[in-house]
Chains A and B, each alone.
Chain A
């Protein structure tokens, strides 16, 4: 479904050349949820922007359904980290969710159905008429998620979506993502710097090195499918996987330091 092969990105400006991504190859199968973790400043966001077609790659290729990505692909949605800035403050919650559907020329009746359904699924039916700035941070990120879900994407990209919310809200939102993914099986690439979050959510966890980024490990998460904040996180296996990823990231950081 989503294939990234030997992706390479260099930022060039007069007199300066920064190699952000060395070479990244990874693929996400249809209906899979893959988490990408890496040490801070390892080019996670650059990678995601290349995959989303927001940033041209310097080399290599990204394909969605076999079609090379040159600009934002038509059936891809992104949930950005900056929830406060990714919603249009002059529109209501409903209008925010509806706008992309209008642009896709979805008929009005179907549009209403999709908007109502997605707001319901994130638990915000009552807030449809509110403006984003009247909501809490966690609720704003729910709106962004509802917008992505209503768009009916083939691929959903999430760029550290919960980095800026408090721990309690974060756990709720993680369960929300798991539930939505289980119901819809949208192919999802989830970028995070939080190891716990990656292991808890992912079917696979891809560990990145520090910049210039390469894939250090592609790890299958063999935890039971029905995950739960309490029981899953207290499984011995969860601890092992977490420890493993943690050591990998420490190694990656060491690389970065003596570079």
Chain B
């Protein structure tokens, strides 16, 4: 099978699948299987979506969400990379911090909702607190894996040639750990988006989540659906962007090269 034909027919099937879903959502309320007050027909949802896309409110909300996501992700990423590398290369530090990491990591970040509400109220600060906590562990764990995976022979070689600690990190640890770091970033980006929306939804920080909450409590059902579609599309865009970045950064790396070739 040539690649383009396979790709084309897959596109056809995929379009059929999406079309089928839209038809289903159109038919179910029209046939009265589910009350139209709770599930409006697809055409109505799409019409609402189109109207919403024309209003500045949606774009402002989207901007707020993405701002919280990006700032939180950047803070978590920076902190986790620095801490991860330090813990990974300073002898004994890994063993010393292990139990603490294993205890703190599974704590669900939504447990911090009340604390964030108290400290920051419905504002960007709350979003950042949840996003940073959730994203931090994803990156940290991967960085620790990555540093542990550095070839010990290469490490000894570098030491025997008298490379300084800083150049060892720069030329040896960082490049070997990079694939793990990028995996961590990819996982963290998805989690950060979930938590950004959650903070807005539950605490009321401005953004997409807050819009959904408002639409729901005011009974604007098709708006709720339209906003969920927006959230899904943004989620897809976030995943795609991070994957693209991962490929760019790791273009030299064998794991990615074979993935691209396959």
Contacts and interface: CB of A to CB of B under 8 A. Distances in A.
A16 interface: yes
A13 B4 CA distance: 12
Interface in A1-31: 13-16
Interface string B1-28: 1100100000000000000000000000
Contacts, number: 9
Contacts of B5: 13-15
Nearest to A12: B1
Interface residues of A, number: 4
Contacts of B1: 13-14
Which DSSP category, helix, strand, loop or mixed, fits chain B's interface? loop
A15 B1 CA distance: 8
Nearest to B8: A14
Nearest to A14: B5
Nearest to A11: B1
A126 B2 CA distance: 49
A16 B4 CA distance: 13
A87 B68 CA distance: 51
Contacts of A15: 2, 5
Contacts of B2: 13-16
A16 B5 CA distance: 11
Interface string A14-54: 11100000000000000000000000000000000000000
Interface in B1-57: 1-2, 5
Interface in A71-127: none
Nearest to B2: A15
A13 B2 CA distance: 7
Contacts of A16: 2
B135 to A, nearest CB: 35
A28 B89 CA distance: 65
Contacts of A14: 1-2, 5
Nearest to A16: B2
B246 to A, nearest CB: 30
Nearest to A13: B1
A15 B2 CA distance: 7
A16 B6 CA distance: 13
A14 B1 CA distance: 6
Interface in B77-107: none
A16 B1 CA distance: 8
- Which of A13, A14, A15 gathers most chain B CB within 10 Å? A14
A174 to B, nearest CB: 35
A128 B1 CA distance: 43
A13 B1 CA distance: 5
B8 to A, nearest CB: 9
A143 to B, nearest CB: 31
Interface string B148-186: 000000000000000000000000000000000000000
Interface of A: 13-16
9 contacts: A13-B1, A13-B2, A13-B5, A14-B1, A14-B2, A14-B5, A15-B2, A15-B5, A16-B2
Given A14-B2, A14-B5, A16-B2, 6 more contacts: A13-B1, A13-B2, A13-B5, A14-B1, A15-B2, A15-B5
| A-B CB proximity, top 6 nearest | A13-B1, A14-B5, A15-B2, A14-B2, A16-B2, A13-B2
